[in-house]
Protein backbone atom coordinates (compact mmCIF):
# COMPACT_ATOMS: atom_id res chain seq x y z
CA UNK A 1 0.00 0.00 0.00
CA UNK A 2 1.45 3.37 -1.03
CA UNK A 3 1.34 6.00 1.70
CA UNK A 4 -1.09 8.86 1.19
CA UNK A 5 1.38 11.32 2.82
CA UNK A 6 3.70 11.71 -0.14
CA UNK A 7 4.66 15.42 -0.29
CA UNK A 8 3.70 17.33 -3.40
CA UNK A 9 6.07 19.43 -5.50
CA UNK A 10 5.69 23.15 -4.86
CA UNK A 11 7.56 26.44 -5.19
CA UNK A 12 9.48 27.61 -2.16
CA UNK A 13 8.61 30.96 -0.61
CA UNK A 14 11.11 33.59 -1.75
CA UNK A 15 12.42 34.11 1.81
CA UNK A 16 13.23 30.40 2.19
CA UNK A 17 14.82 30.32 -1.28
CA UNK A 18 16.93 33.36 -0.36
CA UNK A 19 18.14 31.72 2.85
CA UNK A 20 19.08 28.55 0.97
CA UNK A 21 20.98 30.68 -1.53
CA UNK A 22 22.61 32.48 1.39
CA UNK A 23 24.05 29.14 2.48
CA UNK A 24 25.91 29.01 -0.85
CA UNK A 25 27.03 32.66 -0.82
CA UNK A 26 27.57 33.41 2.88
CA UNK A 27 29.63 30.98 4.91
CA UNK A 28 30.90 33.53 7.44
CA UNK A 29 31.41 37.32 7.77
CA UNK A 30 34.41 37.16 5.44
CA UNK A 31 32.12 35.88 2.66
CA UNK A 32 29.97 38.99 3.02
CA UNK A 33 33.03 41.26 2.97
CA UNK A 34 34.27 39.58 -0.20
CA UNK A 35 30.94 40.07 -2.02
CA UNK A 36 30.66 43.73 -0.99
CA UNK A 37 34.29 44.62 -1.81
CA UNK A 38 34.07 42.98 -5.23
CA UNK A 39 30.95 45.03 -5.96
CA UNK A 40 32.82 48.19 -4.90
CA UNK A 41 35.76 47.41 -7.16
CA UNK A 42 33.45 46.61 -10.08
CA UNK A 43 31.87 50.03 -9.48
CA UNK A 44 35.30 51.62 -10.17
CA UNK A 45 35.81 52.70 -6.56
CA UNK A 46 39.14 54.40 -5.82
CA UNK A 47 38.65 54.41 -2.04
CA UNK A 48 37.05 51.76 0.15
CA UNK A 49 36.51 52.00 3.92
CA UNK A 50 35.62 48.85 5.85
CA UNK A 51 34.31 49.00 9.42
CA UNK A 52 34.02 45.73 11.33
CA UNK A 53 32.64 45.06 14.80
CA UNK A 54 32.90 41.80 16.73
CA UNK A 55 34.61 40.02 13.86
CA UNK A 56 31.84 41.03 11.47
CA UNK A 57 29.02 39.34 13.38
CA UNK A 58 27.69 42.61 14.84
CA UNK A 59 28.54 44.94 11.94
CA UNK A 60 30.04 44.99 8.48
CA UNK A 61 30.04 48.42 6.85
CA UNK A 62 31.59 48.98 3.42
CA UNK A 63 31.72 52.51 1.97
CA UNK A 64 33.09 53.30 -1.47
CA UNK A 65 33.36 56.24 -3.87
CA UNK A 66 32.36 54.26 -6.95
CA UNK A 67 29.81 55.44 -9.49
CA UNK A 68 26.89 54.48 -7.22
CA UNK A 69 23.45 53.02 -7.95
CA UNK A 70 20.58 54.88 -9.61
CA UNK A 71 17.84 55.61 -7.09
CA UNK A 72 15.23 53.81 -9.18
CA UNK A 73 17.42 50.67 -9.25
CA UNK A 74 18.07 50.35 -5.50
CA UNK A 75 15.03 48.16 -4.94
CA UNK A 76 15.90 46.05 -7.99
CA UNK A 77 19.45 45.53 -6.63
CA UNK A 78 17.98 43.61 -3.68
CA UNK A 79 16.10 41.14 -5.90
CA UNK A 80 17.48 37.72 -6.76
CA UNK A 81 19.42 37.42 -10.03
CA UNK A 82 19.54 41.20 -10.46
CA UNK A 83 22.86 42.43 -11.88
CA UNK A 84 24.32 45.13 -14.09
CA UNK A 85 27.20 42.90 -15.24
CA UNK A 86 25.56 40.15 -17.28
CA UNK A 87 22.84 40.70 -19.92
CA UNK A 88 22.91 37.63 -22.14
CA UNK A 89 24.48 34.20 -22.54
CA UNK A 90 27.39 35.51 -24.58
CA UNK A 91 28.52 37.69 -21.65
CA UNK A 92 29.36 34.53 -19.68
CA UNK A 93 32.17 33.84 -22.14
CA UNK A 94 33.82 37.21 -21.64
CA UNK A 95 33.73 38.14 -17.96
CA UNK A 96 35.80 41.15 -16.86
CA UNK A 97 34.05 41.83 -13.55
CA UNK A 98 34.93 40.19 -10.24
CA UNK A 99 31.39 39.05 -9.59
CA UNK A 100 27.96 39.02 -11.13
CA UNK A 101 25.81 36.70 -9.05
CA UNK A 102 22.68 38.76 -8.49
CA UNK A 103 21.49 36.73 -5.51
CA UNK A 104 24.31 38.03 -3.26
CA UNK A 105 22.59 41.09 -1.79
CA UNK A 106 19.18 39.44 -1.52
CA UNK A 107 20.72 36.39 0.14
CA UNK A 108 22.75 38.50 2.58
CA UNK A 109 19.64 40.56 3.37
CA UNK A 110 17.67 37.42 4.20
CA UNK A 111 20.01 36.56 7.12
CA UNK A 112 20.84 40.01 8.46
CA UNK A 113 19.61 43.57 8.95
CA UNK A 114 20.75 45.27 5.75
CA UNK A 115 20.88 48.96 4.91
CA UNK A 116 21.81 50.14 1.40
CA UNK A 117 22.56 53.82 0.75
CA UNK A 118 23.87 55.13 -2.54
CA UNK A 119 24.13 58.19 -4.73
CA UNK A 120 24.59 57.78 -8.45
CA UNK A 121 27.30 60.03 -9.89
CA UNK A 122 24.87 62.04 -12.04
CA UNK A 123 22.24 62.53 -9.33
CA UNK A 124 22.03 65.33 -6.75
CA UNK A 125 20.70 63.28 -3.84
CA UNK A 126 21.40 59.89 -2.32
CA UNK A 127 18.73 57.39 -1.30
CA UNK A 128 18.50 54.66 1.31
CA UNK A 129 16.60 51.39 1.53
CA UNK A 130 16.48 48.81 4.34
CA UNK A 131 15.67 45.12 4.48
CA UNK A 132 15.30 43.42 7.84
CA UNK A 133 15.37 39.73 7.05
CA UNK A 134 11.91 40.03 5.53
CA UNK A 135 10.57 39.66 2.01
CA UNK A 136 9.53 43.30 1.62
CA UNK A 137 12.08 46.12 1.94
CA UNK A 138 11.35 49.52 3.45
CA UNK A 139 10.32 52.50 1.37
CA UNK A 140 13.02 54.42 -0.48
CA UNK A 141 14.15 57.41 1.62
CA UNK A 142 16.20 60.40 0.36
CA UNK A 143 19.44 60.86 2.31
CA UNK A 144 22.57 62.98 2.24
CA UNK A 145 25.28 60.78 0.76
CA UNK A 146 28.40 61.42 -1.34
CA UNK A 147 28.75 59.78 -4.73
CA UNK A 148 29.22 56.08 -4.10
CA UNK A 149 27.62 53.35 -2.02
CA UNK A 150 27.43 52.33 1.64
CA UNK A 151 26.25 48.90 2.75
CA UNK A 152 25.65 48.07 6.41
CA UNK A 153 25.16 44.46 7.45
CA UNK A 154 24.16 44.09 11.11
CA UNK A 155 23.47 41.03 13.29
CA UNK A 156 24.57 38.41 10.77
CA UNK A 157 22.53 35.16 11.05
CA UNK A 158 20.30 36.70 13.73
CA UNK A 159 17.28 34.84 12.30
CA UNK A 160 19.12 31.59 11.53
CA UNK A 161 20.55 30.46 14.89
CA UNK A 162 21.53 27.07 13.50
CA UNK A 163 23.94 28.82 11.15
CA UNK A 164 25.19 31.31 13.72
CA UNK A 165 26.28 28.66 16.20
CA UNK A 166 28.83 27.36 13.69
CA UNK A 167 30.70 30.68 13.65
CA UNK A 168 34.04 30.70 15.45
CA UNK A 169 35.41 33.20 17.94
CA UNK A 170 35.53 36.91 17.16
CA UNK A 171 39.31 36.69 16.69
CA UNK A 172 39.05 33.80 14.23
CA UNK A 173 36.26 35.39 12.20
CA UNK A 174 38.12 38.69 11.99
CA UNK A 175 41.23 36.83 10.87
CA UNK A 176 39.26 35.54 7.88
CA UNK A 177 37.92 39.04 7.19
CA UNK A 178 41.43 40.51 7.32
CA UNK A 179 42.76 37.84 4.94
CA UNK A 180 39.91 38.56 2.49
CA UNK A 181 40.74 42.27 2.44
CA UNK A 182 44.44 41.50 2.13
CA UNK A 183 43.85 39.38 -0.97
CA UNK A 184 41.92 42.16 -2.69
CA UNK A 185 44.36 44.87 -1.58
CA UNK A 186 47.20 42.90 -3.20
CA UNK A 187 45.31 42.87 -6.50
CA UNK A 188 44.40 46.56 -6.68
CA UNK A 189 47.29 48.93 -6.02
CA UNK A 190 45.21 51.72 -7.58
CA UNK A 191 42.69 51.67 -4.72
CA UNK A 192 42.95 53.06 -1.18
CA UNK A 193 41.84 50.63 1.55
CA UNK A 194 41.09 51.46 5.18
CA UNK A 195 40.07 48.85 7.75
CA UNK A 196 38.87 49.38 11.31
CA UNK A 197 37.92 46.71 13.83
CA UNK A 198 35.97 47.69 16.91
CA UNK A 199 36.72 51.33 15.97
CA UNK A 200 40.48 50.77 15.89
CA UNK A 201 42.27 51.38 12.57
CA UNK A 202 44.28 48.30 11.58
CA UNK A 203 44.97 48.95 7.89
CA UNK A 204 45.47 52.17 5.93
CA UNK A 205 46.81 51.54 2.44
CA UNK A 206 47.37 54.42 0.05
CA UNK A 207 47.43 54.15 -3.73
CA UNK A 208 50.72 52.57 -4.85
CA UNK A 209 51.84 53.54 -8.36
CA UNK A 210 55.58 52.83 -8.58
CA UNK A 211 57.07 49.39 -8.01
CA UNK A 212 58.73 50.62 -4.80
CA UNK A 213 55.37 51.82 -3.48
CA UNK A 214 53.78 48.54 -4.47
CA UNK A 215 56.49 46.59 -2.67
CA UNK A 216 55.84 48.73 0.41
CA UNK A 217 52.20 47.64 0.32
CA UNK A 218 53.28 44.02 -0.18
CA UNK A 219 55.62 44.35 2.82
CA UNK A 220 52.77 45.68 4.96
CA UNK A 221 50.52 42.79 3.95
CA UNK A 222 52.98 39.90 3.59
CA UNK A 223 55.74 41.02 5.94
CA UNK A 224 59.16 42.63 5.36
CA UNK A 225 60.91 39.24 5.16
CA UNK A 226 58.89 38.39 2.05
CA UNK A 227 60.01 41.58 0.29
CA UNK A 228 63.65 41.08 1.28
CA UNK A 229 63.71 37.76 -0.58
CA UNK A 230 61.63 38.54 -3.68
CA UNK A 231 62.53 38.11 -7.33
CA UNK A 232 60.50 40.31 -9.67
CA UNK A 233 58.78 38.68 -12.64
CA UNK A 234 57.61 40.42 -15.82
CA UNK A 235 57.35 38.29 -18.96
CA UNK A 236 54.94 38.03 -21.84
CA UNK A 237 54.19 35.64 -24.69
CA UNK A 238 51.47 36.51 -27.17
CA UNK A 239 48.34 37.41 -25.24
CA UNK A 240 49.74 35.97 -21.98
CA UNK A 241 51.49 38.22 -19.44
CA UNK A 242 52.92 37.22 -16.05
CA UNK A 243 54.13 39.82 -13.56
CA UNK A 244 54.62 40.19 -9.83
CA UNK A 245 57.02 38.64 -7.35
CA UNK A 246 58.21 35.21 -6.31
CA UNK A 247 60.53 34.47 -3.41
CA UNK A 248 63.96 32.96 -3.63
CA UNK A 249 63.94 29.20 -3.02
CA UNK A 250 65.77 29.67 0.29
CA UNK A 251 62.72 31.58 1.56
CA UNK A 252 60.22 28.73 1.72
CA UNK A 253 57.44 27.99 4.19
CA UNK A 254 56.04 24.90 5.86
CA UNK A 255 52.51 25.80 4.68
CA UNK A 256 51.20 27.19 1.37
CA UNK A 257 49.83 30.21 3.25
CA UNK A 258 51.53 33.00 1.33
CA UNK A 259 50.57 32.20 -2.24
CA UNK A 260 48.53 34.73 -4.19
CA UNK A 261 47.86 34.12 -7.87
CA UNK A 262 45.51 36.41 -9.81
CA UNK A 263 44.01 35.69 -13.21
CA UNK A 264 42.77 38.93 -14.81
CA UNK A 265 42.59 40.48 -11.36
CA UNK A 266 40.72 37.59 -9.71
CA UNK A 267 42.42 35.57 -6.96
CA UNK A 268 42.26 31.85 -7.66
CA UNK A 269 43.27 28.69 -5.82
CA UNK A 270 43.70 26.27 -8.67
CA UNK A 271 45.41 22.87 -8.72
CA UNK A 272 46.45 23.38 -12.33
CA UNK A 273 48.26 26.64 -11.47
CA UNK A 274 49.77 25.14 -8.30
CA UNK A 275 51.11 22.22 -10.34
CA UNK A 276 52.88 24.58 -12.76
CA UNK A 277 54.47 26.64 -9.98
CA UNK A 278 55.56 23.56 -8.05
CA UNK A 279 57.20 22.24 -11.20
CA UNK A 280 59.11 25.50 -11.62
CA UNK A 281 60.54 25.06 -8.10
CA UNK A 282 60.96 21.29 -8.41
CA UNK A 283 64.73 20.98 -7.85
CA UNK A 284 65.35 23.95 -5.56
CA UNK A 285 63.01 23.21 -2.64
CA UNK A 286 63.06 20.78 0.25
CA UNK A 287 60.33 18.16 0.13
CA UNK A 288 57.33 19.44 2.03
CA UNK A 289 58.33 23.11 1.71
CA UNK A 290 56.25 25.66 -0.20
CA UNK A 291 57.25 28.74 -2.21
CA UNK A 292 55.71 32.17 -1.61
CA UNK A 293 54.52 34.46 -4.38
CA UNK A 294 52.26 37.30 -5.46
CA UNK A 295 51.67 36.85 -9.20
CA UNK A 296 49.39 38.46 -11.76
CA UNK A 297 48.48 36.55 -14.91
CA UNK A 298 46.68 38.31 -17.75
CA UNK A 299 45.03 36.51 -20.63
CA UNK A 300 42.17 37.17 -23.04
CA UNK A 301 39.00 36.65 -20.92
CA UNK A 302 37.49 34.55 -23.71
CA UNK A 303 40.34 32.05 -23.20
CA UNK A 304 39.48 31.35 -19.56
CA UNK A 305 36.33 30.04 -17.88
CA UNK A 306 35.92 31.43 -14.34
CA UNK A 307 32.63 29.64 -13.66
CA UNK A 308 33.89 26.11 -13.06
CA UNK A 309 33.70 26.55 -9.26
CA UNK A 310 30.87 28.10 -7.17
CA UNK A 311 33.30 30.53 -5.49
CA UNK A 312 35.21 31.20 -8.74
CA UNK A 313 38.42 30.06 -7.02
CA UNK A 314 39.25 27.68 -9.88
CA UNK A 315 39.46 28.35 -13.59
CA UNK A 316 39.74 26.41 -16.84
CA UNK A 317 41.91 27.55 -19.76
CA UNK A 318 41.03 26.72 -23.35
CA UNK A 319 44.76 26.29 -24.15
CA UNK A 320 45.81 24.71 -20.86
CA UNK A 321 49.03 23.17 -22.21
CA UNK A 322 50.32 26.51 -23.50
CA UNK A 323 49.45 28.27 -20.25
CA UNK A 324 51.15 25.57 -18.18
CA UNK A 325 54.33 25.67 -20.29
CA UNK A 326 54.43 29.47 -20.21
CA UNK A 327 54.15 29.58 -16.41
CA UNK A 328 56.74 26.84 -15.85
CA UNK A 329 59.29 28.25 -18.31
CA UNK A 330 58.89 31.85 -17.12
CA UNK A 331 59.33 30.99 -13.45
CA UNK A 332 62.10 28.44 -14.04
CA UNK A 333 64.09 31.01 -16.01
CA UNK A 334 63.67 33.56 -13.23
CA UNK A 335 64.66 31.09 -10.51
CA UNK A 336 67.68 30.07 -12.59
CA UNK A 337 69.06 33.58 -12.12
CA UNK A 338 69.60 32.99 -8.39
CA UNK A 339 73.37 32.90 -8.44
CA UNK A 340 75.93 35.38 -7.07
CA UNK A 341 76.76 37.01 -10.42
CA UNK A 342 73.22 38.40 -10.61
CA UNK A 343 74.34 41.10 -8.19
CA UNK A 344 76.25 44.21 -9.21
CA UNK A 345 80.00 43.80 -8.66
CA UNK A 346 80.91 45.52 -5.38
CA UNK A 347 83.14 48.55 -5.31
CA UNK A 348 86.92 48.01 -5.26
CA UNK A 349 88.64 47.80 -1.88
CA UNK A 350 91.91 49.64 -1.16
CA UNK A 351 95.01 48.06 -2.71
CA UNK A 352 96.35 46.47 0.44
CA UNK A 353 93.04 44.67 1.04
CA UNK A 354 92.40 43.57 -2.52
CA UNK A 355 95.81 42.14 -3.40
CA UNK A 356 96.07 39.76 -0.44
CA UNK A 357 94.77 36.71 -2.38
CA UNK A 358 95.91 35.36 -5.77
CA UNK A 359 93.55 35.69 -8.72
CA UNK A 360 91.37 32.60 -9.28
CA UNK A 361 91.91 30.01 -11.94
CA UNK A 362 89.09 27.84 -13.25
CA UNK A 363 89.78 24.13 -13.13
CA UNK A 364 88.58 22.38 -16.30
CA UNK A 365 88.60 18.73 -15.22
CA UNK A 366 86.01 15.93 -15.07
CA UNK A 367 83.22 16.43 -12.57
CA UNK A 368 84.52 13.95 -10.04
CA UNK A 369 87.98 15.54 -10.16
CA UNK A 370 86.93 19.20 -10.18
CA UNK A 371 88.22 20.02 -6.74
CA UNK A 372 91.04 17.76 -5.57
CA UNK A 373 91.76 17.39 -1.87
CA UNK A 374 94.86 18.11 0.14
CA UNK A 375 95.93 16.05 3.16
CA UNK A 376 95.80 18.75 5.83
CA UNK A 377 94.90 22.35 6.57
CA UNK A 378 98.55 23.29 7.03
CA UNK A 379 99.03 23.75 3.28
CA UNK A 380 96.08 26.13 3.03
CA UNK A 381 97.38 28.25 5.89
CA UNK A 382 100.85 28.29 4.32
CA UNK A 383 99.40 29.28 0.93
CA UNK A 384 97.53 32.14 2.56
CA UNK A 385 100.63 33.49 4.28
CA UNK A 386 102.68 33.21 1.12
CA UNK A 387 99.99 35.02 -0.85
CA UNK A 388 99.95 37.96 1.55
CA UNK A 389 103.74 38.30 1.50
CA UNK A 390 104.38 37.77 -2.22
CA UNK A 391 101.62 39.94 -3.62
CA UNK A 392 102.30 43.22 -1.83
CA UNK A 393 103.32 45.56 -4.69
CA UNK A 394 105.97 48.28 -4.32
CA UNK A 395 104.46 51.57 -3.18
CA UNK A 396 105.71 53.49 -6.24
CA UNK A 397 103.99 51.18 -8.76
CA UNK A 398 100.44 52.01 -9.79
CA UNK A 399 98.36 48.94 -10.58
CA UNK A 400 95.10 48.91 -12.55
CA UNK A 401 93.04 46.69 -10.26
CA UNK A 402 90.16 44.50 -11.48
CA UNK A 403 86.90 44.62 -9.48
CA UNK A 404 86.44 42.06 -6.75
CA UNK A 405 84.04 39.23 -7.75
CA UNK A 406 80.72 38.94 -5.86
CA UNK A 407 81.96 36.07 -3.68
CA UNK A 408 85.41 37.61 -3.26
CA UNK A 409 88.56 35.57 -2.70
CA UNK A 410 89.09 32.61 -0.38
CA UNK A 411 90.94 33.10 2.90
CA UNK A 412 90.64 29.73 4.63
CA UNK A 413 88.56 26.62 5.21
CA UNK A 414 86.62 26.19 8.46
CA UNK A 415 86.41 22.70 9.99
CA UNK A 416 86.56 21.13 6.55
CA UNK A 417 82.97 22.29 5.86
CA UNK A 418 82.90 26.01 5.09
CA UNK A 419 84.95 28.32 2.89
CA UNK A 420 85.74 31.71 4.38
CA UNK A 421 86.17 34.41 1.75
CA UNK A 422 86.49 38.19 1.67
CA UNK A 423 84.68 40.47 -0.78
CA UNK A 424 84.27 44.23 -0.96
CA UNK A 425 81.40 44.27 1.54
CA UNK A 426 82.76 41.97 4.23
CA UNK A 427 82.98 38.22 4.82
CA UNK A 428 81.48 35.38 2.78
CA UNK A 429 80.76 31.91 4.19
CA UNK A 430 80.18 29.08 1.69
CA UNK A 431 78.95 25.55 2.39
CA UNK A 432 81.40 23.85 0.05
CA UNK A 433 79.52 20.55 -0.32
CA UNK A 434 76.14 22.20 -0.95
CA UNK A 435 77.68 24.60 -3.46
CA UNK A 436 79.59 21.91 -5.34
CA UNK A 437 76.50 19.67 -5.35
CA UNK A 438 74.52 22.38 -7.17
CA UNK A 439 77.35 23.03 -9.65
CA UNK A 440 77.72 19.31 -10.40
CA UNK A 441 73.98 18.84 -10.72
CA UNK A 442 73.58 21.74 -13.16
CA UNK A 443 76.45 20.37 -15.30
CA UNK A 444 74.85 16.93 -15.33
CA UNK A 445 71.48 18.41 -16.38
CA UNK A 446 73.15 20.37 -19.17
CA UNK A 447 74.97 17.26 -20.38
CA UNK A 448 71.74 15.25 -20.25
CA UNK A 449 69.82 17.89 -22.19
CA UNK A 450 72.59 18.24 -24.78
CA UNK A 451 73.19 14.55 -25.40
CA UNK A 452 69.62 13.51 -24.60
CA UNK A 453 69.12 10.12 -23.01
CA UNK A 454 70.49 6.71 -23.76
CA UNK A 455 67.84 4.01 -24.08
CA UNK A 456 67.73 0.52 -22.64
CA UNK A 457 65.63 -2.23 -24.22
CA UNK A 458 63.91 -4.31 -21.55
CA UNK A 459 64.76 -8.01 -21.65
CA UNK A 460 61.23 -8.72 -20.45
CA UNK A 461 58.69 -6.10 -21.58
CA UNK A 462 56.53 -4.63 -18.82
CA UNK A 463 52.75 -4.85 -19.18
CA UNK A 464 50.85 -2.02 -17.48
CA UNK A 465 47.15 -2.37 -16.68
CA UNK A 466 45.33 0.93 -17.21
CA UNK A 467 41.83 2.21 -17.91
CA UNK A 468 40.61 2.53 -21.47
CA UNK A 469 40.80 6.33 -21.21
CA UNK A 470 44.40 6.15 -19.95
CA UNK A 471 45.34 3.85 -22.84
CA UNK A 472 43.80 6.35 -25.27
CA UNK A 473 45.84 9.17 -23.69
CA UNK A 474 49.04 7.11 -24.00
CA UNK A 475 48.41 6.63 -27.72
CA UNK A 476 47.71 10.34 -28.17
CA UNK A 477 51.02 11.24 -26.47
CA UNK A 478 53.27 8.64 -28.08
CA UNK A 479 55.70 11.34 -29.29
CA UNK A 480 56.03 12.64 -25.72
CA UNK A 481 57.11 9.20 -24.52
CA UNK A 482 59.39 8.60 -27.53
CA UNK A 483 61.28 11.85 -26.88
CA UNK A 484 62.15 10.50 -23.44
CA UNK A 485 63.34 7.14 -24.81
CA UNK A 486 60.20 5.21 -23.85
CA UNK A 487 58.75 2.71 -26.31
CA UNK A 488 55.12 2.17 -25.34
CA UNK A 489 52.37 0.53 -27.36
CA UNK A 490 48.85 -0.61 -26.74
CA UNK A 491 48.39 -4.27 -25.83
CA UNK A 492 44.63 -4.28 -25.49
CA UNK A 493 41.68 -2.13 -24.54
CA UNK A 494 43.01 -1.62 -21.00
CA UNK A 495 46.69 -2.54 -21.27
CA UNK A 496 49.98 -1.02 -22.38
CA UNK A 497 53.31 -2.71 -23.00
CA UNK A 498 56.64 -0.98 -22.32
CA UNK A 499 59.60 -2.35 -24.31
CA UNK A 500 62.20 0.40 -23.84
CA UNK A 501 63.00 2.94 -21.11
CA UNK A 502 65.73 5.56 -20.45
CA UNK A 503 68.81 3.91 -18.98
CA UNK A 504 68.63 6.12 -15.90
CA UNK A 505 65.17 4.73 -15.10
CA UNK A 506 65.94 1.07 -15.76
CA UNK A 507 65.60 0.22 -12.04
CA UNK A 508 62.50 2.35 -11.43
CA UNK A 509 58.98 1.03 -10.84
CA UNK A 510 57.95 1.39 -14.48
CA UNK A 511 54.28 0.45 -14.02
CA UNK A 512 53.70 2.97 -11.22
CA UNK A 513 55.63 5.69 -13.07
CA UNK A 514 53.60 5.23 -16.28
CA UNK A 515 50.31 5.34 -14.34
CA UNK A 516 51.37 8.53 -12.56
CA UNK A 517 52.34 10.16 -15.86
CA UNK A 518 49.01 9.22 -17.46
CA UNK A 519 47.15 10.62 -14.43
CA UNK A 520 48.95 13.93 -14.95
CA UNK A 521 48.21 13.94 -18.67
CA UNK A 522 44.53 13.34 -17.97
CA UNK A 523 44.38 16.07 -15.37
CA UNK A 524 46.73 18.75 -16.67
CA UNK A 525 47.38 17.75 -20.29
CA UNK A 526 51.09 17.80 -19.36
CA UNK A 527 53.37 15.76 -17.11
CA UNK A 528 56.84 16.32 -15.71
CA UNK A 529 57.09 13.10 -13.68
CA UNK A 530 59.54 11.41 -16.05
CA UNK A 531 61.84 14.44 -16.05
CA UNK A 532 61.50 14.70 -12.27
CA UNK A 533 62.54 11.08 -11.82
CA UNK A 534 65.53 11.57 -14.09
CA UNK A 535 66.50 14.78 -12.30
CA UNK A 536 66.15 13.06 -8.93
CA UNK A 537 68.66 10.44 -10.05
CA UNK A 538 71.01 13.12 -11.39
CA UNK A 539 70.69 14.94 -8.06
CA UNK A 540 71.66 11.79 -6.16
CA UNK A 541 74.66 11.28 -8.46
CA UNK A 542 75.66 14.92 -7.98
CA UNK A 543 75.48 14.55 -4.23
CA UNK A 544 77.73 11.48 -4.22
CA UNK A 545 80.29 12.98 -6.61
CA UNK A 546 80.60 16.34 -4.82
CA UNK A 547 83.28 17.28 -2.33
CA UNK A 548 82.57 15.89 1.11
CA UNK A 549 82.86 17.44 4.53
CA UNK A 550 86.20 17.26 6.40
CA UNK A 551 88.20 17.28 3.18
CA UNK A 552 90.74 20.01 2.56
CA UNK A 553 90.89 22.29 -0.49
CA UNK A 554 93.74 24.55 -1.50
CA UNK A 555 93.18 28.27 -1.97
CA UNK A 556 93.17 27.92 -5.76
CA UNK A 557 90.60 25.11 -5.53
CA UNK A 558 88.42 27.15 -3.20
CA UNK A 559 88.63 30.15 -5.52
CA UNK A 560 87.76 27.95 -8.50
CA UNK A 561 84.66 26.79 -6.61
CA UNK A 562 83.67 30.41 -5.90
CA UNK A 563 84.08 31.39 -9.55
CA UNK A 564 82.00 28.39 -10.66
CA UNK A 565 79.25 29.41 -8.22
CA UNK A 566 79.17 32.88 -9.78
CA UNK A 567 78.42 31.49 -13.23
CA UNK A 568 76.15 28.54 -12.31
CA UNK A 569 72.38 28.94 -12.36
CA UNK A 570 70.51 28.39 -9.09
CA UNK A 571 73.78 28.22 -7.14
CA UNK A 572 72.37 30.35 -4.31
CA UNK A 573 70.79 27.14 -3.05
CA UNK A 574 71.64 23.46 -3.14
CA UNK A 575 69.48 20.83 -4.81
CA UNK A 576 67.32 20.60 -1.68
CA UNK A 577 66.70 24.34 -1.28
CA UNK A 578 69.26 25.06 1.45
CA UNK A 579 71.34 28.25 1.04
CA UNK A 580 74.87 27.64 -0.23
CA UNK A 581 76.39 30.89 1.03
CA UNK A 582 75.77 33.87 3.24
CA UNK A 583 77.36 37.26 3.80
CA UNK A 584 78.41 39.18 6.90
CA UNK A 585 78.88 42.80 5.88
CA UNK A 586 81.28 45.17 7.63
CA UNK A 587 78.20 46.81 9.15
CA UNK A 588 77.11 43.43 10.54
CA UNK A 589 80.58 42.82 11.95
CA UNK A 590 80.71 46.30 13.50
CA UNK A 591 77.37 45.58 15.20
CA UNK A 592 78.71 42.30 16.62
CA UNK A 593 81.61 44.12 18.26
CA UNK A 594 79.60 47.26 19.18
CA UNK A 595 81.87 49.46 17.07
CA UNK A 596 80.69 53.04 16.76
CA UNK A 597 78.61 52.89 19.96
Q: 23 CB contacts (<8 Å, ≥6 apart)? A: 163
Residues of the chain scoring pLDDT < 70 = 1-5, 7-25, 80-103, 134-135, 307-312, 342-401, 451-453, 549
Residue 449: the pLDDT is 75
Q: 273 CB contacts (<8 Å, ≥6 apart)? A: 261, 327
Report domain extents, the chain: 14-205, 211-338, 342-389+405-442+550-592, 452-544
Element (H, E) at 354: helix 351-354
Task: With CA atoms as reference, report the closest residue to 282 among 488, 503, 536.
Answer: 536
| Whether 68 contacts 217, CB under 8 Å | no
pLDDT digits (tens, 9 = 90+) for 325-375: 999 999 999 999 888 875 443 433 332 333 323 333 333 333 334 454 443
Element (H, E) at 256: none
Q: What end-to-end distance do the CA atoms of the chain give, in Å?
A: 97
Residue 377: the pLDDT is 44
What's 452-544's CATH class?
alpha beta
- By the 10 Å C-beta count (0-12 exposed, 13-18 middle, 19+ buried), 570 is classed as buried
Task: With CA atoms as reference, report the closest residue to 463 among 505, 497, 492.
Answer: 497
Length of the chain counted residue by residue: 597
pTM assigned to the model: 0.76
Query: Where does 342-389+405-442+550-592 sit in CATH, by number?
Result: 3.30.1540.20
CA distance 183 to 296: 12
Domain 14-205 has CATH 3.30.565.10: yes
What's 211-338's CATH class?
alpha beta
The pair phi, psi for residue 348, each rounded to 5°, is: -75, 135
Taking phi over 0 as left and psi of -120 to 50 as alpha, with beta for the rest, 64 belongs to beta
Amino acid sequence: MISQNIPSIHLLPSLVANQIAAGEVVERPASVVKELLENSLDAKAEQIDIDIEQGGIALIRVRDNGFGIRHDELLLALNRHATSKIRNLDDLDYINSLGFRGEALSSIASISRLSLSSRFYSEQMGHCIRLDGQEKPSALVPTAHPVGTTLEIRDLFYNTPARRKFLRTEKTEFGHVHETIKRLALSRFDVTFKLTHNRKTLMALKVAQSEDEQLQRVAMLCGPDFVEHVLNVNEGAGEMQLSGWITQPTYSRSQPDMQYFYVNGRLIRDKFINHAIRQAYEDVLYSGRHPSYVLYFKIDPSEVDVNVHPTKSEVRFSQSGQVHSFLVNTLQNRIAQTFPSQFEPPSVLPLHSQQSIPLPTTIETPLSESYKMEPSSASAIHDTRQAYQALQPPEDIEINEPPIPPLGYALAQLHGVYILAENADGLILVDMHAAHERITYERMKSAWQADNLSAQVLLVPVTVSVSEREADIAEQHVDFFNNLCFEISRAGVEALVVRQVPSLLADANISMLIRDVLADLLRFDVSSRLQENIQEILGTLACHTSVRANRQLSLSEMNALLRDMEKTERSNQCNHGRPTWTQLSLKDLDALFLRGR
